[in-house]
């Protein structure tokens, strides 16, 4: 009963001073066991699996373009530079993120048009158009994508030019056009 009360107090972040007649070796062992149990309980609170994923085990990518890209109708935008690519899900040669594991993912992108030119792109999940970004007007303009999707292992996510027009995505060494995604749960 004492151990359950102590765990309860520790989990609710209450400070408690306990006087006992246990040996210091036994106290240290009990304390280590309690800390271990707390960490396990805390892990289940977030993931439901009893362990939290390590940073390198979490699918995540963040890529960008450092130069313009001409897009024929239905061409996939290729973000040619990488900041992050955990589990190697994003392929810079194809412009496609292939999910290394199933789950709920967040995807976002910022794309820039050439000055005074229109840019019409779609974010695709496998062969389904999910959302679009239409940019038009004077000067350079940016459009965005921001979506949360249920993704199965090996599903593909990518950004593609509208199927009936040729366009150009703008970027330069200031990296105006970016694309990111990561596993939420």
Domain boundaries of the chain, sorted by first residue: 2-47, 55-183
Q: SS3 sequence, 14-47? A: CCCCCCCCCCHHHHHHHHHHHHHHHHHHHHHHHH
pLDDT at 14 over 50: no
Say how far residue 89 (Cα) sits from the centre of its chain.
11
Q: In the chain, pLDDT over 90 holds for what percent of residues?
A: 63
Our CA angle for 31, 36, 41, nearest 5°, is 125
pLDDT tens-digit series, residues 164-184: 788 999 999 999 999 999 999
Mean pLDDT of all residues in the chain? 81
> What is the rounded CA–CA span in Å between residue 79 and residue 108?
13
Closest listed residue to residue 145, CA positions, set 108, 112, 98, 104 = 108
Of the two residues 155 and 135, the one the predictor is more confident about is 155
CATH level 2 (architecture), domain 55-183: Sandwich (2.60)
Report the candidate in 67, 158, 170 with the shortest Cα–Cα distance to residue 111. Answer: 170
Cα gap 136→139, rounded to integer Å:
9
pLDDT in tens, 28-65: 555 556 555 555 554 544 444 445 667 778 999 999 99
Backbone phi, then psi, for 16, in 5-degree steps?
Answer: -135, 135
pTM for the model stands at 0.70
Q: How confident is the model at residue 162 (pLDDT cuts 50, 70, 90)?
A: confident
**Residue 2 in this model has a pLDDT that exceeds 60:** no
Q: Give Cβ neighbours of residue 31 (< 8 Å, ≥ 6 apart).
A: none
């Amino acid at each position: 009963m004492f151990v359950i009360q102590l765990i309860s107090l520790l989990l609710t972040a209450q400070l408690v001073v306990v006087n006992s007649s246990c040996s210091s070796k036994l106290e240290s062992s009990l304390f280590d066991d309690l800390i271990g149990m707390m960490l396990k309980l805390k892990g289940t609170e977030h993931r439901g699996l009893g362990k939290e994923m390590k940073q390198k085990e979490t699918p995540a990518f963040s890529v960008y373009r450092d130069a313009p890209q001409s897009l024929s109708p239905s061409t996939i935008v290729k973000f040619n530079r990488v900041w992050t690519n955990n589990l190697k899900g994003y392929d810079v040669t194809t412009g496609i993120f292939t999910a290394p594991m199933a789950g709920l993912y967040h995807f976002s992108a910022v794309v820039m048009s050439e000055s005074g030119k229109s840019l019409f792109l779609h974010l695709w999940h496998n062969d389904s158009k999910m959302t679009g970004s239409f940019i038009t007007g004077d000067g350079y303009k940016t459009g965005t994508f921001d979506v949360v999707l249920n993704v199965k292992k090996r599903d593909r996510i990518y950004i593609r030019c509208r199927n009936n027009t040729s366009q150009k995505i703008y970027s330069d060494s200031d990296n105006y056009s970016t694309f990111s995604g990561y596993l939420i749960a």
